[in-house]
Structure 1
Amino acid sequence: MDRAEKHALVDQLKGTFTESAVVVVTKNHGLTVADVEELRAKMRDAGASYKVAKNRLAKIALEGTPYEGLADFLVGPTALATSSDPVAAAKAANDFAKTNDKLEIIGGGMDGKILSSDEVKQLASLPSLDELRAKIVGLVQAPATKIAQIAAAPAGQLARVFGAYAAKEDA
């Protein structure tokens, strides 16, 4: 990798760090190529990305970003998971780490705050942005549904009473 390629990679990483809502740092102790491809696919499905970068270049890219404190985590074979959704990267990395013991979450950052591995796992347990949106839509629709049910209930009761009287007269 020549100097120009290194500068381009540092600029790309810096852009990723400034645009991301969350960055998760993982250690990959002996992941196979197939494992990494599976992890990247899961990250893409969740709306996140997973990148293995040289620690020295990643440390340079972290300078001047809200995640500058993550430089301490970049020791040994590490990789970075990022996403604009504050939960997506953490959830995808945590789910993969549960099934594959070769991936270890060592820390992360969110909105300029450095997170320990336990905090990243807690973040992963939160619902994603899409799940929260679905819950909000359900909560907004629930009152309208209840009002319609309440308004229709007396008419339904009257219909049942009339039906009972009709059945009584027929018998």
Structure 2
Amino acid sequence: MGKNRELKEAKVLEIKEKLEKAQGVIFAKYQGLTVEEDTQLRKNLREAGVEYKVYKNTLTTLAAKEIGVEGLDAILEGPVSVALGYEDPTAPARILNDFAKDHKKLELKGGIVQGEIFDEVKVKQLASIPPREVLIAKLLGSFKAPVSNLAYLLNAIKEKKESEEA
């Protein structure tokens, strides 16, 4: 077996493992970004725990097929980068979408979220979902509000009774 083939098989295995491990995978067309813009994008993604890579489309397609994901041919056309979110499936979409608002050269192409293929429209919808921490904080806030209101009510009743007794 040729050395080139061994390298490609190793790369397909690497991509396959990353796709299996990632909860959210977003593909974006990055052609036209300056080095400074690309560096800033990579920094933003790294800070959010998102891995950002550029792989050959054919190798990515092969790796995806090995994990049972088909239909990426339209998404993987031309120079395409991959953002892999391992903890938060919405993080890659959110960061790439926010960056694309100011940098028109970056174009969201689609993705794979928890085994399901997302087109560009679904990726943009996914990007609008707040981070997990924000959702948890909102949920806890909604739990806390009725308890706080009850405490204020009980305190008001107590103060009223005390003022009546005095």
**TM score, norm. by length of structure 1:** 0.84
Choose from 78, 81, 84 the match for 1:82.
Answer: 84
Match of residue 61 from structure 2: 59
Runs of 4+ in 1 over 6 A off after TM superposition: none
Indicate how the Cα distance of structure 1 residues 65 and 158 shifts in structure 2: closer, same or farther if over 3 A, else same.
same
C-alpha deviation, 1:125, in angstroms: 0.7
Query: Which protein is richer in helix relative to its size?
Result: 1
- The alignment of Structure 1 onto Structure 2 pairs a total of residues equal to 163
Match of residue 168 from structure 1: none
Choose from 84, 93, 98 the match for 2:96.
Answer: 93
**Secondary structure of 2:78 counterpart:** coil
Q: Which has the larger radius of gyration?
A: 1
**Secondary structure of 2:74 counterpart:** helix
1: CA distance between counterparts of 2:61 and 2:37?
25
Q: Which amino acid aligns with 1:59?
A: T
Indicate how the Cα distance of structure 1 residues 97 and 9 shifts in structure 2: closer, same or farther if over 3 A, else same.
same
2: CA distance between counterparts of 1:37 and 1:4?
31
Choose from 150, 153, 156 the match for 2:156.
Answer: 153
Match of residue 169 from structure 1: none
C-alpha deviation, 1:2, in angstroms: 4.2
Match of residue 106 from structure 1: 109
Choose from 63, 66, 70 the match for 1:68.
Answer: 70
Match of residue 137 from structure 1: 140
**TM score, norm. by length of structure 2:** 0.86
Structure 2: gaps spanning 5 or more residues? none
Choose from 17, 20, 28 the match for 2:19.
Answer: 17
Q: Which amino acid aligns with 1:65?
A: I
2: CA distance between counterparts of 1:95 and 1:119?
15
2: CA distance between counterparts of 1:153 and 1:11?
66
Q: Which amino acid aligns with 1:11?
A: L
1:115-163 alpha-carbon deviations (Å, 9 max, x no partner)? 221111111011221111111221222232222112111123345667x
2: CA distance between counterparts of 1:91 and 1:152?
43
Match of residue 118 from structure 2: 115
How large is the Cα RMSD of the aligned pairs?
Answer: 2.1
